[in-house]
Amino acid sequence: MARLTPETERFLRKAVAGLPFRKRGEARDELRAHLEDAIEQKVAQGSERKRAEREAVASLGDAAELNRGLLRAHFGKMWVLRYLYSKLSWWLPELGHIQFRPKFMIWTHTSKYPHQYAEGRYDEIIPPLGTRTCFTRAE
Amino acid sequence: MLRELRKGTASLLLLDLLAARPMYGFELAEALRERTNGVLTFKEGTLYPALHRLEAEELVETFWQDSPRGPRRRYYRLTARGRKALAERREHWHTLVEAINGALDAGNGTVSP
């Protein structure tokens, strides 16, 4: 399987978002195969590989439009609900980048050790077991 | 009306192409381009939703096949229901074309100023 650029992978993820799990994998593999065929054809015609990949992706049109078409095909009139769900699923990974940890740690420590905090005796504050991992995003 | 006509035409063409033998998406797009000398082409972004719709209607079924050269491909083939639908849609299409031709011929191409 040829390696595609991260932009193309993102395009594929967007195009199949919201489809049922098994169908999503199949649709992504199908679109990926289409792109690989189109890239190979363009390269054979003398195009440079990166350019061929960009053109192949462009020929599939807008990822959101393709996504709406696939959702309509699979869910009929209920496609709007799945579309909203898929939109949300694009944003959720982005929310993972928000760091909750500092605020949470301060809140925990000030409530459990108010005097130590007020008097600046930070060395006496021992982080309670488990709080470190509560809202910390795995690297 | 035009949109509906286009949508119906796409599924008719896909079913007709698949009547000959099972094909995968890219192959279908190329086959149509060749068959119509490039006059009709599937905008690729609409090809896959149309194929998936036909699958949901059980007019086609799919299977995966490894390729000796290139990626593993998802082939589409007509079901018995698909063959029946193709025959019906072909008939509807000919009736529609005859009716439109008849209407155009009756007008003799005259356009009022």
Contacting B with CB below 8 Å, chain A residues are 1-2, 26-27, 29-34, 36-38, 40, 59-62, 65-66, 69-70, 72-74
Cβ contact A33–B52 (<8 Å): no
Note the pLDDT of residue B1. Answer: 44
Note the pLDDT of residue A134. Answer: 44
HSE-CB of B62 using CA atoms within 13 angstroms: 19
Please give the order of strands across the beta sheet that includes B23-24: B23-24, B73-78, B60-65
Cβ distance A105 to A131 under 8 Å? yes
Note the pLDDT of residue A100. Answer: 47
Chain B CB contacts of A60 below 8 Å: 44-45
Note the pLDDT of residue A137. Answer: 45
Cβ contact A69–B48 (<8 Å): yes
Note the pLDDT of residue B5. Answer: 58
- Which of B14, B52, B58 has the most A C-beta neighbours within 10 Å, making it the best mutation to test the interface with A? B52
Q: Which two tokens stand for residue A45?
A: 């015609």
Cβ contact A33–B24 (<8 Å): yes
Note the pLDDT of residue A135. Answer: 44
**Helix B25-35 and helix A21-44: axis angle, to 10°?**
50
Could you give the domains of chain B?
Answer: 2-105 (1.10.10.10)
B39-59 confidence digits (pLDDT tens): 777 776 788 999 999 999 999
Cβ distance B49 to A73 under 8 Å? yes
Cβ contact A73–B70 (<8 Å): no
Q: How confident is the model at residue B15 (pLDDT cuts 50, 70, 90)?
A: very high
Mean pLDDT, residues B77-83: 95
- Is pLDDT at B81 greater than 90 in this prediction? yes
More confident residue, A55 or A129: A55
Q: How confident is the model at residue A89 (pLDDT cuts 50, 70, 90)?
A: low
B23 to A58, A100, B17, B74: CA distances (angstroms): 23, 51, 8, 8
Q: How confident is the model at residue B3 (pLDDT cuts 50, 70, 90)?
A: low
A12-49 confidence digits (pLDDT tens): 988 888 888 788 889 999 999 999 999 999 999 998 99
Backbone conformation region of residue A120, classed left if phi is above 0, alpha if psi is from -120 to 50, else beta: left
- Tell me which residue in B25, B52, B56 faces A34 most closely, judged by beta carbons: B25
Cβ contact A61–B26 (<8 Å): no
